[in-house]
Amino acid sequence: MTIDVQEIIIDGVSGQVPTKAEKYIFVGTCSKGIENKIYTFGKNSDYKKELGEGRLTDKIKDFFSVLQEEAIVIAIPSEKDIAGEIREIIFEGTGKATYTVTGNSLCDTDIVIQILSGGALNEATAKISIDGGDNWMSPFTMPVDGKVNVEIAGIVVTFANFTTPSQSFVTGDRYFLKTISPKSGITALIEAIEVGLELYTPRYVYVCQDTDSLHWVTFGMKADELFSLHKPTYFITDTREKIEAIKRNGTITISTKIITGLSKTDDFVEGCSVTGDGIPTNTIITKILSPTSVEINNNATKTQTISLLIKEDISNYVNSLVKERQSFSHRFVAVCAGYGEVIEKTGISQVRNYSGVMAGTIASARVNESIGKVKKFPISNVKLPQGWTNTHSTILNDAGFVVLRRLEGLNSLYFARGNTLAEDTSDYKYIEIVDTVFKAIRLGRVGALKDLQSEGDSAGITNAHAEIITAISTMTSASPKELDSFEVIIPPNQDIVNNGLVFNLVLYGIPIIKNMKLNFMFKYANPFEE
């Protein structure tokens, strides 16, 4: 052997950790994106050009509106196997024009067509809002063919003159129309999720549509499967929104409590109010009997086919979600139960679940930070609905949902807590705990893998122990810290040959201040004391 000095580079001992932007998988429907294709977006990406309209686009928009850190959205459009809905027009006014609606709903809109000056087609003027009347497009003359195209929603409202054309439209007439975005069934959602998971291990998977306990069970099972595959990931999603107003025709017979002949009932819930000719006041739905019939609490006073208006109050909405929650728990599923006007940078505001804001707040937080941290996460682009109180927020928060609340003395809204739907006795009731432990697991695993198939003697065990400590130490040396401290314990008397090598890891988290108590005392000053 030649006598010389050999140089060897030893890598992986500096304590550096990857500084890549975190990745987040978003799954939902949109009008333009190719189903089950992966799209990647940053904060300045033109995601609307690629995806068009829909809930996936809306949630990405809300996510980036509050994001404080670099992040990459892995967006996968899911199959639209549940068609969107065009609700029946609710008319307020005295004009006598007739109207029909055609098209296929592309997204969620609250359309208002308001008549500015009366008359016939090609004479009357109007304006359109897609956000319930908060913002308006430019005024226009009602077209001679009566076709008013609301392109963003994918629909056309066609008006026809009354037999006396001048009476067709009257100043102040308003036409209200709500469109509901298409959705994906559970199988379609999982297919899209798996497309993303084949390439990426995200911090979380975000299902961008309203879901119920059947979905949550599926997401929980998927999270357990990913954990067993060494890909710790949790799921976040929405609940449904409150039923604002559904107009539907039905048939009822005098002195009975059954409404039949409804076109559908799957968008009703028990407790919704029912109004219409022949329906007594204070009438509610007590039971969904079939896809076309419901039971109510009062006897009808007429036998007829009537136009019904179905509404839900906030208390019924809150109670129905608490009931839904009672049938499910999982520590790796987090569900946002709040809704309100989400204000976009363009000034347009849409009433929707604010889970996109929740998702962006999580992405802005260190793994050990609560999304309710007052100093860092004030929410100013959401307006809670009229009648929503902190009592409603408290009930849903106590049930394990994520909601916004008001703090007396402050102007912004704040998340009450970053809850998961874990059991009350679980250590993993909060997102920041799940996030912290998942990060430690990922780091610890990579550290341990370096010594897989190494010698299991004293030196080999000591080296593996040191690698794990080095990996997780990045969380205690981070500034600010992500862990207060940790222990890596080697249990004695192990049978390494048959059972492998076991380490017990104890993570000591940084406490979160949930409550404060200020004890004030009043005393008079003594003028004789200096």
Looking at residue 138, the DSSP 8-state letter turns out to be: P
Instruction: Look at the alpha carbons of 480, 482, 484, 490 in this order and tell me if their dihedral is positive or negative.
Output: negative
- Rounded alpha-carbon distances, angstroms, from residue 136 to 39, 55, 103, 114: 32, 22, 22, 10
* CATH code for the domain defined by 21-81+183-241+318-529: 3.40.50.11780
25: nearest Cα among 213, 226, 212: 226
514: nearest Cα among 406, 415, 402, 401: 415
Give the residues across from 294 on adjacent strands.
259, 288
pLDDT at 13: 61
Query: Does residue 408 carry a pLDDT above 80?
Result: yes
Confidence of residue 530 (pLDDT cuts 50, 70, 90): low
Element (H, E) at 473: helix 458-477
What DSSP string describes 28-70?
A: E--SSSPTT--EEE-TT--HHHHH-SSHHHHHHHHHHHH--S-
Note the pLDDT tens digit of each residue in 49-90.
999 999 999 999 999 999 998 999 999 999 999 999 998 899
Distance CA 100, CA 214 (A): 36
As a whole number, mean pLDDT of residues 371-376 equals 97
- The per-residue pLDDT of the chain, averaged, comes to 93
pLDDT > 70 fraction of the chain, expressed in percent and rounded? 97
pLDDT at 278: 85
pLDDT at 59: 97
Q: Where are the domains of the chain?
A: 21-81+183-241+318-529, 85-180, 246-312
Note the pLDDT tens digit of each residue in 127-156.
999 988 888 999 999 999 999 999 999 999
Query: Does residue 18 carry a pLDDT above 70?
Result: no
Confidence of residue 250 (pLDDT cuts 50, 70, 90): confident
Distance CA 61, CA 208 (A): 12
pLDDT at 47: 95
pLDDT at 1: 57
3-state secondary structure of 479: coil
- What is the residue whose two structure tokens read 């086919």? 305
pTM greater than the 0.75 cutoff: yes
